[in-house]
Amino acid sequence: MNAAADDDWQRLDPKVVLAVLALVLAPMFPALAVMLIAGAEPTAVLTTLGIWLASAVAIGGLTASSWYFTRYRVTGERLEMRTGAVTRSHRSVPRDRIRSVDITAGPAHRVFGLAVLKVGAGSQGSGSTELKLDAVTRPVAEALRQELLYGSATAPQEQAAEETPDGALAVMRPAWFGYSALTLSMMAVVWGAIASAVGSFSELLTAFGFWGAVYTAATSIPLWLIVLASAAVVLLTGMLGSLLLSLEAWWGFRLTRDRGDTLRVRRGLLTTRSISLEERRLRGVELVEPLLLRWVRGARVHAVTTGLSESKGDKQPDNNTLLPPAPRGVAQQVAANVLRDEERPTALALRGHPRAALRRRLNWAVLWALPVVIAAVVLGVLDLVPVWLAVVVPVAVLAVGVGFAVDAYRGLGRALGERYLVSRSGSGLRRTVALQRSGIIGWRIKQSMFQRRSDLITVGATTAAGRGVYHVHDVLSADGLEFADEAAPGILAPFLERR
């Protein structure tokens, strides 16, 4: 696909209207089936059917109108898109500012051979310059990806032939899906979906006598057994649901180097996704270890890169994820391969932090447990709860808080490699970042009133990538300033007094 001429505006694919209609109408059939099974009145069923069809017609009309008034073109300098019937919008992205190209195809789009192309060019001010073409055919999306990233519209099959046999940096292995089952964030999504479904189908469950059976069983079983069984069911349900979500998101995962200078992630079972990131935008990697995953020595890898747009409402994993949950050793090696570094910076031996940092975390643990202790004492004195419960609960809360504080302290660490600054912190979610020393553009030094008493500071390396600032928490003032000056010589030098 060649760059379009100045007047060569193109339309999106008209089958996008059918894809949207299919997406709107698909839930109608199970919803009507549930109403019929629950014994709903025929009038209610017909009313629901009429409202649903009318909504589908309205949404289809709006989609058709949007398709008719949407045009896009690729010139030698920029990608442009015009939209709107009443209120016109003309957006453009300079091609030299394009950071990533994301090709996504959900089930409805895949049925009609369509894909959504998202072009990310980072943020400017408070907005995002992401431009989305919804939708074009899959061959057109691949051709646009080639043209926007490399300046030529090589056909997809030709591009695949150009990948070297050893170009795969990581390929999904079946055993890795077990690590995803221990991802607490996915478990939370599963539990939320189940709670929502139970609320929506409460009347149907009542009609089938489900709640009555649960009440009968609960009154005939000891309380301790109910608590244990409920916890086991919740945990197993969360793990199974997390595993299924991981299968959908990471099926067919493959991380490759495309043409030697672009990282490409392909994944997805029902919704396929292809994300391309230019290596020249890469400023480092981040090893992320959630608590449960860390217990089984697992981790995932994120890219620290300039200009990635992350959508908080996106149910898919983040755009910057280069490796799903996998063994920690594999994650460290993939991170090194991505960085083209033989020393495996995320596996460097880290320098510990002073004992004062441990005291700060223990103080915070006690502070957070204090309201629970006070409430338990008051309830025990008023004889509102058994004495043993008023004692056990505060002790358990305090023990958990102290455990997290000690774990957070043990997780602190820092090191300087030949090319990278390495920092680690966190307990519930431990992060180890390897940041290019050449990508550090400034330092943010913070010292709270309590840190001042212990002669501690928090040093933040600022960069035009990732989260923008990466911290080294609670180091001695002299050590922290010396570390920062050595990591990026010259930036702090005018403000330091040598002793």
Nearest of 287, 300, 326 to residue 179 by alpha carbon: 326
Residue 430's pLDDT band (cuts 50, 70, 90): very high
Q: pLDDT value at position 156?
A: 43
Q: Which of 387, 411, 435 marks a domain boundary?
A: 411
Does residue 148 carry a pLDDT above 70?
A: yes
In a shared domain, residues 217 and 259: yes
Determine if the peptide bond prior to 135 is cis (ω within 30°): yes
Q: What is the pLDDT of residues 237-286, one digit of tens each?
A: 988 988 999 999 999 999 999 887 889 999 999 999 999 888 888 999 99
Asked whether residue 480 is domain-assigned, the answer is no
| Same domain, residue pair 380 and 248 | no
Mean pLDDT calculated for residue range 133-156: 82
Query: Could you give the CA distance from residue 447 to residue 477 in angstroms, rounded to a whole number?
Result: 9
Is 369 found in the same domain as 326? no
Close Cβ partners of 441 (under 8 Å, ≥ 6 residues apart): 462, 463, 464
Rounded to whole angstroms, the Cα distance separating 159 from 274 reads 14
pLDDT of residue 207: 65
**Domain stop point among 106, 135, 162:** 162
- Is 445 contained in some domain? no
Query: Are 267 and 300 members of one domain?
Result: yes
Does residue 489 belong to any structural domain of this protein? Answer: no
The string of DSSP letters for 409-472 reads: HHH-EEEE-SSEEEEEE-SSEEEEEEEEGGG--EEEEE--HHHHHTTEEEEEEE-SSTTSEEEE
Residue 99 lies in a domain: yes
DSSP-assigned states of every residue in 72-141: EEE-SSEEEEEE-SSS-EEEEEEGGG--EEEEEE-HHHHHTTEEEEEEE--EETTEE--EEEEEEEHHHH
Task: Give first-to-last CA distance, the chain, whole Å.
Answer: 63
Q: What is the pLDDT of residue 164?
A: 38
The CA distance from 288 to 294, in Å, is 9
Query: Structural domain of residue 272, as residue ranges?
Result: 163-340
What is 147-197 written as a DSSP string? HHHHSS---HHHHHHHS-GGGEEEE--GGGHHHHTT-HHHHHHHHHHHHHH
Q: Are 209 and 193 contained in the same domain?
A: yes
Q: What angle do CA 462, 463, 466 make, to 5 degrees?
A: 110
79-83, 451-455, 491-495: least confident range: 491-495
Show the DSSP H helices in 267-354 as ranges.
291-295, 328-339
186 with 320, same domain: the answer is yes
Q: Are residues 42 and 178 in the same domain?
A: no
What pLDDT shows up at residue 409?
96
Same domain flag for 172 and 86? no
The arithmetic mean of pLDDT across residues 344-373, rounded, is: 92
**Do the beta carbons of residue 284 and residue 434 sit within 8 Å?**
yes
- pLDDT band for 452, please (50, 70, 90 cuts): very high
Residues 362 and 304 in one domain: no
Look at the chain and report how many structural domains it folds into.
3
The answer to whether 117 and 136 are in contact (CB under 8 A) is yes
Judgement on whether residues 185 and 313 belong to the same structural domain of the protein? yes
CB atoms within 10 A of CB 310: 10
306 and 172 together in one domain = yes
Candidate from 83-92, 363-372, 457-466 with smallest mean pLDDT? 83-92
* pLDDT on residue 384: 84
- pLDDT at position 159 is 42
Q: Pick the more confident residue, 1 or 145.
A: 145
- Reference 151, options 52, 261, 46, 239; nearest CA is 261
pTM: 0.82
Check which CATH number belongs to the domain holding 93 and give it. Answer: 2.30.29
Boundary residue ending a domain (291, 310, 340): 340
Say if 76 falls within a structural domain.
yes
Does residue 35 lie in a domain region?
yes
Answer for the pair 145, 160: CB distance below 8 angstroms, yes or no: no
- Whole-number Å distance between alpha carbons of 379 and 11: 68
Same domain, 153 and 43: yes
Bridge partners (DSSP) of residue 104 are: 116, 273
Asked whether residue 158 is domain-assigned, the answer is yes
Q: Within a domain: residue 497?
A: no
Tokens of 273: 């996704």
